[in-house]
Amino acid sequence: MRSVPVSSPPRPPSRREGGVALALGLAMLVLPIACEDEGTTAPESALRELTADCIACLETLTECTATAKNELHFLGCRDVFQTCQEKMQLGPDECGRPSDAQACELCKERDSRCQGGTCEVEFSVCKTFLMSRNQDRCDGDSGPDTGSCETCVETLAACGFSGESIDVCENTFASCRSANKLDASSCQPPAAPAACDACLAQHASCEAATGEGCDAGWAACVGTLATEGACGDGPNMGAGGGGTGGGEPGPSCSHDACEVGEAMSPSCDSCVSQLCELDPYCCETSYDETCVAEAQTIAVCGCAAPQTCAHDECAEGEILDPECSDCAQTVCEADGYCCTTSWDALCVQRTVELCGKTCE
């Protein structure tokens, strides 16, 4: 067999482990191959017209996308791809977003090199974000079978574990389900205890990897996939010691983080988890007005910022916004005049009667 010399195109100085091998392997598909058996023809690659530098950037995009937890993370992957384009001096015409055929091939190639127990999920995520249609056809002999509903549940749990909002994670779950051609009636987001098990699996993977932020991730996952308190106090609570043993009840998830009540558990959701780190009193002693005010400063809690009434409810004056206080809302519900025309002496009297205030 005659040897054909091949000169490798220039490579950027740094590359993720295994990236150079993949870029070279795919770039070789562009070059003619001399074979003794001229009757054997290799399948035509969808990447055949791309340069090695473009393939290297696409491989970077593929790796980032396969490990993306949600749509927000995928947007970050597109930024990484754009940075690579600029570094390689590649314009969008010569190296743009991959076609569905190219994306499928990239995801398959990445999957063939994947190791570990998350490869099926990562392949599903890869084609979910990189392909615009026909994701269900991207399997074949060189890729895994279409993912199951359990694959999408794991993707959903990973999104929740990352701390993303419920809306973002629900969209991620729906995209995964669509990519794997799963019927919505037979593949729904899990309820407890399946949701708890999915979050526990994410927590175990976290501890096996870095061990950092695992409890906060657990709380965020539970807050996304399950109802408050449905999964107990967390994976590391009560182990080896017989639990609370009938003493005073511990922190719970019996009320919203935006409401005053008993001490809350950090495992309720990501909001309470952050709040407990900020002010342990809220999760050890009592969840008071100060805790509510602190929750209003944490974005994921979704608590409305406190409003200030134009004047005290005990003073006559202009109308009051019923949203400025619970008392104003109570009075306005009883006498709409107070919030549409004027806050007069009768409104002050209703303040005493309905709100229990002492107005002098």
Res. 8: pLDDT tops 60? no
Contact 144, 119 (CB under 8 A): yes
Residues 261 and 341 in one domain: no
Picking from 146, 167, 202, the residue at the C-terminal end of a domain is 146
Q: Is 6 inside any structural domain? A: no
Q: Who's near 320: CB < 8 A, 6+ residues apart?
A: 309, 310, 311, 313, 328, 331, 332, 338, 339, 343
Whether 192 shows a pLDDT value over 80: the answer reads no
187-190's contacts with Cβ under 8 Å and 24+ in sequence apart are 187/149, 187/152, 189/153, 189/156, 189/225, 190/153, 190/156, 190/225
Regarding whether 180 and 88 lie in a shared domain, the answer is no
Confidence of residue 240 (pLDDT cuts 50, 70, 90): very low
Read off the pLDDT band of 120 (50, 70, 90): confident
Q: Are residues 82 and 22 in the same domain?
A: yes
CB 313 within 8 A of CB 358: no
Residue 51 maps to a domain: yes
**Does residue 78 fall inside a structural domain?**
yes
pLDDT grade for 289, boundaries at 50, 70 and 90: confident
Mean pLDDT within 26-38: 40
Residues 72 and 142 in one domain: yes
Residue 28 sits in the same domain as residue 71? yes
Q: Is the pLDDT of residue 59 over 70?
A: yes
Winning range, highest mean pLDDT, from 63-77, 177-191, 324-338: 324-338
**Per-residue model confidence as pLDDT tens digits over 145-158:** 456 788 888 888 88
| pLDDT of 17 over the 50 cut | no
Q: How confident is the model at residue 237 (pLDDT cuts 50, 70, 90)?
A: low
- How would residue 210 be classed by pLDDT, with cut points 50, 70 and 90? low
Shared domain check, 130 and 163: no
Domain check: are 140 and 33 in the same one?
yes
User: 253: closest CA among 287, 203, 215, 300?
Assistant: 287
Residue where the block lists tokens 């780190």: 277
Percent of the chain scoring above 70 in pLDDT: 76
Does pLDDT of 19 surpass 70? no
Digit-coded pLDDT (tens) for 122-148: 888 888 888 877 777 787 444 444 567
Is the pLDDT at 90 greater than 80? The verdict is: yes
Give the residue from 113, 146, 179 where a domain finishes.
Answer: 146
State how many domains the chain has: 4
Task: Say yes or no: 135 and 179 in one domain.
Answer: no
Residue 308 has pLDDT above 80, yes or no: no
Give residue 252's pLDDT: 64
Ranges 214-218, 230-234, 261-265, 280-284: which has the least confidence:
230-234
Q: How far apart are the first and last CA of the chain?
A: 105
Total-model pTM = 0.37
Regarding whether 327 and 349 lie in a shared domain, the answer is: yes
Cβ atoms of 183 and 141 within 8 Å: the answer is: no
Q: Mean pLDDT across the stretch 84-109?
A: 86
Residues 187 and 267 in one domain: no
| Residue 298 sits in the same domain as residue 314 | no
Asked whether the predicted pLDDT for residue 37 surpasses 60, the reply is no
User: Highest-confidence range of 83-92, 180-189, 198-207, 292-301, by mean pLDDT?
Assistant: 83-92
In a domain, 242, yes or no: no
- Could you tell me the residue range of the domain that residue 263 belongs to? 254-306
For residue 211, what pLDDT band results from cuts at 50, 70 and 90?
low
| Mean pLDDT calculated for residue range 317-335 | 88
- Those residues whose C-beta lies under 8 Å from the C-beta of residue 149, and which sit 6 or more positions away, are 177, 182, 186, 187
Note whether residue 243 is domain-resident.
no
Residue keyed to tokens 């990445």: 110
Q: Is residue 96 part of a domain?
A: yes
The answer on pLDDT for 348 being more than 80 is yes
Q: What is the pLDDT of residue 283?
A: 84
Q: Is residue 273 part of a domain?
A: yes
Residue 184 has pLDDT above 60, yes or no: yes
CA atoms within 13 A on the CB side of 241: 7
pLDDT for residue 11 is more than 60: no
Q: What average pLDDT does the chain have? A: 75
Look-up of token digits 């001229």: 38
315's tokens: 């003073």
pLDDT, mean of residues 94-113: 87
What is the model's pLDDT at position 58?
92
Final residue before a domain boundary, out of 128, 146, 164: 146
pLDDT at position 71: 67
Q: For the chain, give the percent of residues with pLDDT over 90.
A: 3
The reply to whether 288 and 268 lie within a common domain is yes
Q: Is it the case that residue 51 has pLDDT exceeding 60?
A: yes
In a domain, 3, yes or no: no
